[in-house]
Structure 1
Amino acid sequence: MAQSHRLLSWGTTMPRIRALAALGFLLCLPFATAAAKQPAAAPAAQANAGCADIPFAAANAAAVSVPSAPDAWGGPRKGDEATLSDRVVRYEIQATLDPAKHTIDGKQKLTWRNRSAQPVCAVYLHLYLNAFESANSTFMTEQRNLSFAFRSDVPIEDGDWGYSRLQKVQQGGQAVKWRYVQPDGGPSTDRTVVRLDLPQPVAPGASTTLDIDFFNQLPRVTARTGYYGTFHLVAQWFPKIGVLETPGERGATAPRWNVHEFHMHSEFYADFGEYDVRITVPKDYTVGATGEETGAPVERDGKITRRFVQGDVHDFAWTADNRYAKPLDGTYEGPGSPKVKVRVLYHPEYENNAQPALQATIDSLAYFSRTLGPYPYKTVTVVIPPFNAQEAGGMEYPTFFTASSYKNVDPGTLTRYALDFVTIHEFGHGYFYGILASNEFEEPMLDEGLNEYWDQRMLRERKQGLDVTTPFLKKIGFAPNLAGFDMERLGAMNDAPGDALGQNSWNRMSSRSYGTVYARTATTMHDLEQAVGKEALERAFKLYYARWKFRHPSIADFREALIEGTGQRATVERIFAQQVYSTRKVDDSIAQFSSKEALPVPGYVERGGKRIELTSEALDKAVADKRKAWKEKHPKAKEGEGPFPYRTMVLVKRDGADVPQTLRVTFADGSSETVRFSGTQPWQRFSWTKRSKAVSAQLDPDGNINLDRNKLDNGRTLESDRSATRRWTGDVAAALQTLFAMLVSL
């Protein structure tokens, strides 16, 4: 998924991680020593004579504009294939956890198929844990040098570091040479990507098997993965092969390796395949993992080995702890899905979180299956992280995710809302990150943003908003409720958006700007839904899911599904041009509003062929007489009604993008005038002459445009409205900034 349950995107409110001191040569020495023991790698050009190197995806790759070929990734899955996905890779892994040292000894048999039309002489592996081996990784360098904030910004103390080390790599019994590379031009000290020069090239369409021994030192859980006490969340822990994209896939025109460094805000991208993983832990430890547990556990020497198997996924994560309570189990059965076993793992102190998380997961299974497509797997495992390991919360992996943990989860409380939201959000990633499997490095909006939007649709259907109040305020009758899409709007950087939605995850103006991947995407999709209709947009999302499940769609593929599904090309292309491929502020406001009687004016007039001067004194008397007579005849007339017509004028100012806009003017007699307009001109003036005086003027009266930077300047009344001057919206926004600092970027 992503940095999971980040409700909104106020990255700037999070405390900055304290500056990491330069650790110097002594800190780096153990790693340098380990590197020296590895086989020296031959230069790329000499790895295999006559075997051309395959280039990397661009270091600044972002939103794809050209749709993928119809047969990309093997073409759409029709449902009659032997497997759900076109499996490219198979992992057989044996992992032994030492919970005292927080280390993993691993042996891996990796079988990979060359999908390209040329021989492959070198492959690339991700070693994600090396992001946490020192302050000199790409991840840590971005955090330090760019002053980026990350999730909850847990500081790394001495002894908290972690790493992944290759012990041995062989192909068909022959030693494989390797060396670290930095595909995105990061520091030479980054070791999150390793190149393997193969003794035997892999022919087009052929497969090869690599035998890999590796060792992991887990970090203290500071960013998604690691340990705290006896609790272990083991994620991005095994050597994972990069994706070889071929022509016609995600804008590629020639084969290329998509294998970016582990950037601070980036997540993951991998081929579909099959995982067969045996996990050995002390026998008193409970294990939860991706996939189904297969066969009987094997016990030996005080340890127990459990086997988990899952096909048609692109990642594998697990947890182990001897403090887990008895798991809470439930089931889901729905049309088109197998019977799904839902398991919640939790510590005794958070027992009250387990049932709400179970119910939210089952409800999510029903909603996502109904609105997108049936859930295809047989398991979902939910982990409630323990006290002091909250940074492990709010992360997603196939059939396995971590939620959050709160002391009080009574219905109607803020923390109950947060638990429900995080659970729904992390489950939703099982669709947008898991099944659709978009590239989270380069196009994070396809996972984080679209998932955030679909989560809010589910909450809207549940009529579940956020109570912005306290027990005391409830007692005095003040209990405002903030709808989900209103919350998203608060985090969308509508004042001055920093980056296009289609920008990649690492080339960002700020952490707050990265957060708009969530909130601004959800807000943009909300506005698109208002423009094309709820049913049309849901139809388009169903088409997108059906066409691209178990493949790897790009932003261009999503755009084309929206166009076809809604039948409204111009609207979709306008929004993508303004918000996805570029960034345009939306800012319409009412600059002037008046409604005045259209009284006769002095001067000469021509009557019966003669010029007659109407003096001011004569006109004043005539006006007064006419008003008196009219009031006598209409004693029950409303304020703003009289013998003379009113001329109403509204001046609308446009400081941002061209969006179809609606202006509605309401008059004292209850009538209204509605104007729909668009265009790039900086202002437009509208006027009416009617028997009734205007009362109010309102832009976007139906709340269709949440991207508008300031809702307070969208409406005017002729009489003062003190509720607007109190700026409740601003007050609530300020309070939420503090509140969601705890929830942001999960």
Structure 2
Amino acid sequence: MRRVVRKWGCVCVLTLAWPWLAAAQQAASSAVTPAASPPLAASTPAPAGALLPGIPFAAADAAAVTVPSAANAWGGERSGSETTLSDRVVSYRIDAELDAAKHAVSGRERMTWRNRSDRPVDRIYVHLYLNAFQNEGSTWFTEREVLTAHGRSRGAAVLKKGEWGWIELRQVKQGDAALKWRFVQPDHGPATDQTVAQIDLAEPVPAGGTLTLDIDFLSQLPRVVERTGWFGDFNLVAQWFPKVGVLELAGERGATAPQWNVHEFHFNSEFYADFGLYDVRLTVPSDYTVGAVGKLQGPPETANGKSTYHFMQGDVHDFAWVAAKGYKTLDGSWQGPGSPKVDVRVIYPAEYAASAAPVLKATTDSLTFFSDSLGAYPYQTVTAVVPPYNASEAGGMEYPTFFTADGYARVEPGTLTQYALDFVTIHEFGHGYFYGILASNEFEEPILDEGMNEYWDDRMLRGRGQDIVAASGWMKRLGIAPVIRPFAAERLIAGLRKPPDPLGANAWDRLSSSSYGTVYARTATAMHDLEERLGKPALERAMHEYYRRWRFRHPSVADLRATLAEVSGNRQAVDAIFDQYVYGTAQIDDRVASIDAVEVLPQPGTVMKDGKRSELDAGALDRQVDSQRRSWNKAHPEAKPGSGPFPWRSTVTVRRDGAPVPQLLRVTFADGSHEDVRWNDARRWARFGFVRPAKVVSAELDPEQKILLDANKLNDSLASKADGAASRRWSADAAALLQAFYALVGSL
């Protein structure tokens, strides 16, 4: 999901207690299956508080995993010689038809699921995501009420009459047996939430066995409020079919025994599912343009004003599609080492025709960068969709081989609009790696997808030399075009001062939506600083190995940590970042506290010389000092103040108000020379002394700007005479970001 300036334009964190959620979490246990809500089909719900037998749910507060996964997790590493890219667990064969007037999709689904566990399974759980939009009693709406009151976020639209969305299970059959189902709340959300259903099986699935279900369903799309839905003749059909939850085994993402990972649809969360095969037929009005996950299997079949498109894609974990009347397409292709030929398509409305070519170029450029820097792109297609005006909340979303971008009526090279369009396109394509191929659990560890993807996007922009140029409005008229580099922009919106939640926290259990939003920028900033500590080559080797080792296998934060430490050979640096920021809420704030300088002059008193004691007279010493000064000044007419015939004893004091971090202190002397010293210990303060021919005139921590996690860069430097250079520099960066925000808002 995107995090662009207009989405998280202002990060504001306020203190708020969630009484209902806190109470639920206190009662939560990963070993307890919660009570069911009233049933949808004819079945008897368990009484409140009853314990239902079976495999338990993942904990309601599950988050950053600390124990690396087992070597055989998810079938073990993929060598590339297997018949399929992933160890496929599920397959979906779906026939669906869009009622364009009602924005409703009727579907028939045959789901085949493999029980990977060592025990029989007598029930399964399916996600019914669209029920988040059926009324305001869902977990999604209940959390939105709290979170949007204390921080900005997408998904703030108000649904009116005729704009709600839902998904109905009309029939579920196992062979000839009609099955019963009930709604459950694995995360102890409100009983009115119906985004997860438990289906009781007529025959248990034995260990290693296969289950086949035939499901008839109806999906009513909501008016676009977040991620999915319709506006006018535009339909983004996402999270639209009953999708089985993930049965995790011991040794996978911290699980110690089989558990169902099937969280409710939270306001800030996204998705997590098993790899499999999708074979989908979509019937739509013949005058609609269609795009979807995967590869189109020949031309559509057309009859009676309707066209049926057949898409297939293996080794993915979701399927989304678009059907829009009057939309156009722009096609391209790409191929790189180790990848198949990739067909690239952009689907766009006429009002955003100017965005089509830039989106196509940014997508093909991303294919090159991600394939070179992480690993080969394994699929044959990429489809990018530009939503129409008034449906921007459908933009900036990711699905395997398919994503939505942003749209602009005018895109001029070198402008803020160009940067914004490129950034969102790169970001959403990048999800194809971190969310798609690596298949991180976005519910529990958004750092692995949104955060790591943001970091890798910034590296691509840095490699391109593509900075934010706020060249519009009054600044442009005055000939001022503030420029800010991608990582500098990230730190300005990262919420580095007293963050309320660790980066590794799950998506929903956070102080506010703004706190969730900082996962993007704070992760990018933390990884930038880790790269500076490890060195660029070591970091790149480690990320190559992370992709190779964990593609198609759902890694955890602990797996990323272990790979980075092992490959870089610098476990200390990796552990420091993860302990302090991923698992903790540390902040860095080192500062130069003071500079003291004293000229070392001859002092009155007695001295022993050649066995005799003599007394130095103060008046005589003053005359001697004056004489030496006159002679020196005459010999050095161009000398700068602060230098002279006598040495200077200078002391620089530094203070630490946060977590320790290896620091470089650069001390500059009056004669223009400088000296670098290291502050690599955990002291809360330190003093560094210098005796030189010239006095210290300034001192600066982190002169090479490698530590962007520092919450306040303005106090990193100090001069013996007032010097506003540092404050001007960072103020200019902040002004550039603010100007960029206003220019972007003005372009919408």
Q: Same fold (TM over 0.5)?
A: yes
Q: CA deviation at 1:227?
A: 0.3
* 1:294-333 → structure 2 map (5 Å cutoff): 294-325=297-328, 327-333=329-335
Partner of 2:22: none
Q: CA deviation at 1:617?
A: 3.5
Cα distance in 2 for residues equivalent to 1:505 and 1:152: 15
Partner of 1:505: 507
Q: 1:135 to 1:459 in 2, by over 3 A?
A: same
SS in 2 for 1:686: strand
Contact conserved, 1:265 with 1:514, CA < 8 A, in 2?
yes
Cα distance in 1 for residues equivalent to 2:667 and 2:79: 52
Partner of 2:493: 491
Partner of 1:224: 227
SS in 2 for 1:496: coil
Partner of 2:242: 239
* 1:442-591 → structure 2 map (5 Å cutoff): 442-470=444-472, 472-474=474-476, 476-591=478-593
* 1:416-427 → structure 2 map (5 Å cutoff): 416-427=418-429
Partner of 2:440: 438
Q: CA deviation at 1:716?
A: 1.4
Q: CA deviation at 1:738?
A: 7.6
Partner of 1:27: none
Partner of 1:368: 370
Partner of 1:129: 130
Q: CA deviation at 1:371?
A: 0.6
- The runs of 5 or more residues in structure 1 that have no matched partner are 15-33
SS in 2 for 1:447: helix
Contact conserved, 2:483 with 2:736, CA < 8 A, in 1?
no
Cα distance in 2 for residues equivalent to 1:656 and 1:300: 68
Contact conserved, 1:9 with 1:492, CA < 8 A, in 2?
no
| TM-superposition CA deviations, 1:255-314 (whole Å, max 9, x none) | 000000111110100000000111111110110000001133122221111111000000
1:208 to 203, 206, 211: 211
Partner of 1:110: 111
* 1:142-291 → structure 2 map (5 Å cutoff): 142-146=143-147, 147=149, 149-151=152-154, 153-291=156-294
Q: CA deviation at 1:160?
A: 2.1
* 1:24-103 → structure 2 map (5 Å cutoff): 38-41=41-44, 43=46, 53-103=54-104
Cα distance in 2 for residues equivalent to 1:620 and 1:690: 22
* 1:320-359 → structure 2 map (5 Å cutoff): 320-325=323-328, 327-359=329-361
Q: CA deviation at 1:639?
A: 3.1
Partner of 1:31: none
Which letter maps to 1:296?
A: P
| TM-superposition CA deviations, 1:111-149 (whole Å, max 9, x none) | 100000000001000001111111111111011134354
Cα distance in 1 for residues equivalent to 2:65 and 2:625: 67
| TM-superposition CA deviations, 1:354-390 (whole Å, max 9, x none) | 0000000000000100110110000000001111111
Which letter maps to 1:593?
A: I
Q: 1:490 to 1:374 in 2, by over 3 A?
A: same
Contact conserved, 1:586 with 1:657, CA < 8 A, in 2?
yes
**More deviation in 414-423 or 51-60?**
51-60
1:385 to 366, 380, 387: 387
Q: 1:223 to 1:354 in 2, by over 3 A?
A: same
Cα distance in 1 for residues equivalent to 2:5 and 2:126: 29
Q: CA deviation at 1:39?
A: 2.1
Q: CA deviation at 1:603?
A: 3.8
Cα distance in 2 for residues equivalent to 1:7 and 1:554: 30
Cα distance in 2 for residues equivalent to 1:487 and 1:427: 21
Q: CA deviation at 1:99?
A: 1.3
**More deviation in 472-481 or 182-191?**
472-481
Structure number with greater CO (CA < 8 Å, separation at least 6) is: 1
Contact conserved, 1:63 with 1:504, CA < 8 A, in 2?
yes
Which letter maps to 2:158?
A: P
Number of paired residues? 720
Contact conserved, 2:355 with 2:408, CA < 8 A, in 1?
yes
Cα distance in 1 for residues equivalent to 2:183 and 2:520: 33
SS in 2 for 1:456: helix
Partner of 1:625: 627
Q: CA deviation at 1:667?
A: 1.8
Cα distance in 1 for residues equivalent to 2:600 and 2:162: 80
Q: CA deviation at 1:41?
A: 4.6
Q: CA deviation at 1:499?
A: 1.0
Cα distance in 1 for residues equivalent to 2:578 and 2:82: 34
Which letter maps to 1:705?
A: I
Cα distance in 1 for residues equivalent to 2:596 and 2:531: 33
Q: 1:477 to 1:358 in 2, by over 3 A?
A: same
Cα distance in 2 for residues equivalent to 1:309 and 1:251: 33
Contact conserved, 2:180 with 2:199, CA < 8 A, in 1?
yes
**How many percent of aligned residue pairs carry the same amino acid?**
57
2:717 to 711, 715, 718: 715
Q: CA deviation at 1:408?
A: 2.2
**More deviation in 478-487 or 519-528?**
478-487
Q: 1:37 to 1:708 in 2, by over 3 A?
A: closer
Cα distance in 1 for residues equivalent to 2:660 and 2:550: 31
**More deviation in 676-685 or 222-231?**
676-685
- The runs of 5 or more residues in structure 2 that have no matched partner are 14-36
Contact conserved, 2:487 with 2:525, CA < 8 A, in 1?
yes
Cα distance in 1 for residues equivalent to 2:166 and 2:490: 36
Asked if residue 697 in structure 1 is aligned to residue 699 in structure 2, the reply is yes
Contact conserved, 1:8 with 1:519, CA < 8 A, in 2?
no
Which letter maps to 1:323?
A: G
Contact conserved, 2:56 with 2:260, CA < 8 A, in 1?
yes
Which letter maps to 1:65?
A: T
Contact conserved, 1:138 with 1:186, CA < 8 A, in 2?
yes
What TM-score do you get using the length of structure 1 for normalisation? 0.93
**More deviation in 403-412 or 152-161?**
152-161
Q: CA deviation at 1:599?
A: 2.1
Q: CA deviation at 1:12?
A: 3.9
| TM-superposition CA deviations, 1:697-724 (whole Å, max 9, x none) | 1101111100001111101122322344
Cα distance in 2 for residues equivalent to 1:39 and 1:575: 52
Cα distance in 1 for residues equivalent to 2:609 and 2:443: 79
Q: Which runs of 4+ in 1 moved over 6 A?
A: 34-37
Q: 1:6 to 1:432 in 2, by over 3 A?
A: farther
What TM-score do you get using the length of structure 2 for normalisation? 0.92
Which letter maps to 1:93?
A: I
Q: 1:684 to 1:537 in 2, by over 3 A?
A: same
Partner of 2:28: none
| TM-superposition CA deviations, 1:533-557 (whole Å, max 9, x none) | 0011000000000000011100011
Cα distance in 2 for residues equivalent to 1:166 and 1:11: 41
Which letter maps to 1:171?
A: Q
RMSD: 2.4
Cα distance in 2 for residues equivalent to 1:374 and 1:408: 33
Cα distance in 2 for residues equivalent to 1:463 and 1:366: 16
Q: CA deviation at 1:471?
A: 5.3
Cα distance in 2 for residues equivalent to 1:418 and 1:629: 63
